[in-house]
Structure 1
Amino acid sequence: MNIVLIGAGSMIFSVNLIRDILLSPFLEGITVTLMDIDSERLKNCFILCSKLSKELGRDINIKKTDNRREALRGADFVICTALAAGHEILQKGWAIAKKNGYRFGGSLHIMHDEAFWINFFQFQMMEEIAKDILDICPEAWLLMVSNPVMAGTTLITRRYPSLKIAGLCHGFSGVYSLGKLLGLNKEDISFETPGVNHFIWLTKFEYKGKDAFPILDNWITEKSEQYFKRCGFSEETGPKAFDLYKRFKVFPIGDTCTPGGGSWGYWYHTDKKTEKYWKEDPSLWYKRYFIYYKQQMKRIKTIAEDPSCKVLNIFSKERSDEPMIPLIEGLGCNQRRKVIVNIPNKAHTIPHVPEDFAVEVPVIATSKGLEVLSTTPVPLIVQYYM
């Protein structure tokens, strides 16, 4: 099996992905091809991933190239994590938008990491990748991880219907953050979070096989007030998320209401006073994110350049909650896997959404393909905002 990672220079994601591959008992001995047009980042990523393989004592064949078409030869799975226009261009656009009165929370596709000037380049790149796959490795699966997942997956499935593609996002794992807050063991939680990417809602929540919404409601009554006094700004389990739960009777998960998803809904961000009341500060959230990203990139560069530094000093030894490797284990190794993916709404899993629009739904992945599972639907009032 050959897994190709396009955009490998986004090293934090790449190293986590390689670790998940190395820790899979079904993927030993496979080939992973790292591809990026930034030669320096590609080199460092290759060094880190090779070191990690040795540290974990697992055997896979890791290759690197800055040529996308070369990387795609013999590919079985193509994972796209690339950002065609970087963070600097994103922030420059935001600065211009702010001067003209645009704000987080009310200006989606402008004050958002899926800004229209970023998407302009992303869509072109996604189409180029799709055409290359159909030309070079037409049986390969494209796993679309790069944002905008919803719009990108919708675009590619409409224009290239013969391409096998699934959009992927880890936003659903936000349910585990909620579970941790409630004191629940991750292994005993089951859930459904249907919707569209960056707009998913907890419609079914069980703990040890029993309805867990009463546990959530009791926590709100007994502990939420004190928690809100100490929680940070723009947290996914902050006052805003719980107010949305109070309004709509389903809980927003992942980036549904955080800056990472555009800080929806606008009424929590009408002015600074309102944001302060709801403990929201998207600008601070992104500032901290970019600082953290730069710090991590520096640490990664240091580890890559110093043979004595270990990758596992900053990366966990445990598999992540990312859905890419479970999906590959299902499709490529015929291991029955339940995975949450973004695919066209052909099964009408999400009511009132067109068939050719990508929705985020659970599937069973096997070598036969993807079997869409039914879910408890989101309330009609939430669908109006979709």
Structure 2
Amino acid sequence: MSFKVAFIGAGSIGFTRGLLRDLLAVPEFRQIEVAFTDIDDHNLEMVTELCQRDINENGLSINIQATTDRREALKGARYIFIVVRIGGLEAFEKDIDIPLKYGVDQCVGDTLGPGGIMYGQRGIHAVLEFCKDIREVAEPECLMLNYANPMAMLTWASNKYGGVRTVGLCHGVQGGHRQIAEVFDLKQEEVDIVCAGINHQTWYIQIRHQGRDLTGQLLEAFENHPEYSKTEKVRIDMLRRFGFYSTESNGHLSEYLPWYRKRPEEIKEWIDLGSWINGETGGYLRVCKEGRNWFETDFPNWMKEPAFTYTAGERGQEHGSYIIEGLETGRIYRGHFNVVNQNTIANLPEDAIVEAPGYVDRSGIHMTQTGELPMGPAAVCNVSISVQRLAVEAAVSGDDQLLRQAMMLDPLTGAVCNPQEIWQMTDEMLIAQEIWLPQYGQAIAEAKLRMAEKNPLPTKNYRGAARLQVKTIQEMKENRKAASKNAGEADKSTERPAASKE
């Protein structure tokens, strides 16, 4: 079986190496073509060297085509993985630090909030360029598998404006599934779940074990769990008030809502600093910086360690390889995928990107109709969908008025800032990220004039309610295993330390 798979943003060690392992664990895929492309030739070279070593150690004859020429990598590709971070950590830092000046305290800032909205502006512009190349040089009817955030916005733009069939993929459902099994003291494979919603705000609307419905027992199980009762306070509170558990982590979920991060003095009541994902200010930015610094420093040692083993037992839970396996071999795979709604969830907008159960076989990806989401969770999702729609249209058109409206309607931003502050914050973020936002040329020029001519509103010298320092290389050397795990995994929070004792 031979076809071509391309990775855009292949310099992302966490996703690229793991997804390649998952693909090449499929026996029929031992002769596929693999292409890597990235704008950073140094990262591309390191990741290619490591992945090629894995391939060689597994006795395969595949030679990775690595190039900074994106069109060359995409030529003839049947499947394309998007694993980019547009703007890199430089832009990501601005997504976190500028909103903090206005009191907007984000944990991750890559899906909603000012950070997620601006990340979407950068990402959509780039992804539509990818789509143009794909339409022109890739295999006809190729499938784009998007792992990049903001998941819903990028997948929305690709399907609506990019002219490329795109499915968004995430590991949030699998992470919450593991937790649910744990609180009931069951094995994950014994617990059957149905989730529905939007990416990072998907809800476990049905939980069964051997035909018995456990959904109504979930709140008590989480409240009594010795660890999660301390580390998942936002998720448990939402479960208590809305009736269903959210797929998203405590820290992520807290920044999509107007209630949990609006007052600095209250934030620590809802989060835990045992792990960044529980709510640390700028926590994901910190661990990404640490991961980058460690990989750069420690790369020679990575080449000395045992190669990844391409076997079924070592295969991860990311959906991508299983989707391709289903399409190519006919083996049926069930997962939760991000697609254009089209009545998959009856009470969410038709044009929105929803996350819901689907099946894959040789004939395609088939979404199940899950009916209506419960009214409360649907209302929470619809607030985010309104922000996403405005942000997508703003990114495509370069209309900064729509961008500002998206910022105003963002739940956390609206809970913290007044309209004048939101307008000025948007000006600052546009100016700071100018090099990644060519569609906003005129708007940025006008923003610069405003910031120069008027007396700006006062801002805060605020680092956030729960900001931790980036670890030094020396500090990371004290626990090399943890540092390498952080650098090498796509899901940087699979194993979480115990709750903090503060």
Q: Is the 8 A contact 1:166 1:343 kept in 2?
A: yes
Q: Aligned ranges for residues 42-81 of structure 1 at < 5 Å?
A: 42-58=44-60, 60-81=62-83
Provide the C-alpha distance between the structure 2 equivalents of 1:14 and 1:110, rounded to a whole number of angstroms. Answer: 25
Name the one with the larger strand percent: 1
Cα 1:310–1:358 change in 2 (3 A) is same
Residue 353 in structure 1 maps to residue 348 in structure 2 = yes
Report the Cα offset of residue 364 of structure 1: 1.3
Provide the C-alpha distance between the structure 2 equivalents of 1:129 and 1:354, rounded to a whole number of angstroms. Answer: 27
Provide the C-alpha distance between the structure 2 equivalents of 1:67 and 1:261, rounded to a whole number of angstroms. Answer: 38
Paired position in structure 2 for 1:246: 240
Provide the C-alpha distance between the structure 1 equivalents of 2:298 and 2:305, rounded to a whole number of angstroms. Answer: 5
Structure 1 counterpart of 2:359, from 354, 357, 364:
364
Residue 383 in structure 1 maps to residue 386 in structure 2 = no
Provide the C-alpha distance between the structure 2 equivalents of 1:379 and 1:329, rounded to a whole number of angstroms. Answer: 33
Name the one with the larger helix percent: 2
Structure 1 counterpart of 2:305, from 295, 305, 309:
309
- Compute the RMSD of aligned alpha carbons: 2.8
Provide the C-alpha distance between the structure 1 equivalents of 2:94 and 2:330, rounded to a whole number of angstroms. Answer: 46
Cα 1:81–1:286 change in 2 (3 A) is farther
Paired position in structure 2 for 1:278: 270
Cα deviations across residues 279-299 of structure 1 (Å, max 9, x unaligned)? 357796355434433443455
Report the Cα offset of residue 115 of structure 1: 3.4
TM-score, normalised relative to structure 2: 0.67
Report the Cα offset of residue 79 of structure 1: 0.7
Q: Is the 8 A contact 1:112 1:262 kept in 2?
A: no
- SS of 1:75's equivalent? coil
Paired position in structure 2 for 1:120: 121
Residue type matched to 1:331 in 2?
A: L
Cα deviations across residues 170-221 of structure 1 (Å, max 9, x unaligned)? 1111221332243220111211111111110000111233222355345246
Cα 1:357–1:182 change in 2 (3 A) is same
Cα 1:285–1:13 change in 2 (3 A) is farther
Paired position in structure 2 for 1:204: 206
Larger Rg: 2
Residue 135 in structure 1 maps to residue 131 in structure 2 = no
Report the Cα offset of residue 376 of structure 1: 5.9
- SS of 1:378's equivalent? coil
Report the Cα offset of residue 270 of structure 1: 2.5
TM-score, normalised relative to structure 1: 0.86
Give the count of matched residue pairs. 370
Paired position in structure 1 for 2:35: 33
Provide the C-alpha distance between the structure 2 equivalents of 1:39 and 1:185, rounded to a whole number of angstroms. Answer: 43
Residue type matched to 1:264 in 2?
A: Y
Paired position in structure 1 for 2:195: 193
Cα 1:197–1:26 change in 2 (3 A) is same
Cα deviations across residues 291-325 of structure 1 (Å, max 9, x unaligned)? 43344345544664354333459xx9722211111
- SS of 2:255's equivalent? coil
- SS of 2:192's equivalent? strand
**Unaligned ranges ≥5, structure 2:** 382-502
Provide the C-alpha distance between the structure 1 equivalents of 2:364 and 2:254, rounded to a whole number of angstroms. Answer: 32
Provide the C-alpha distance between the structure 1 equivalents of 2:317 and 2:112, rounded to a whole number of angstroms. Answer: 29
Residue 263 in structure 1 maps to residue 255 in structure 2 = yes
Cα 1:299–1:97 change in 2 (3 A) is closer
Paired position in structure 1 for 2:328: 332
Q: Aligned ranges for residues 229-240 of structure 1 at < 5 Å?
A: 231-232=230-231, 238-240=232-234
Paired position in structure 1 for 2:493: none
Provide the C-alpha distance between the structure 1 equivalents of 2:111 and 2:332, rounded to a whole number of angstroms. Answer: 37
Provide the C-alpha distance between the structure 2 equivalents of 1:310 and 1:159, rounded to a whole number of angstroms. Answer: 43
Cα deviations across residues 306-347 of structure 1 (Å, max 9, x unaligned)? 54333459xx9722211111111112332221122111111x
Q: Is the 8 A contact 1:340 1:361 kept in 2?
A: yes
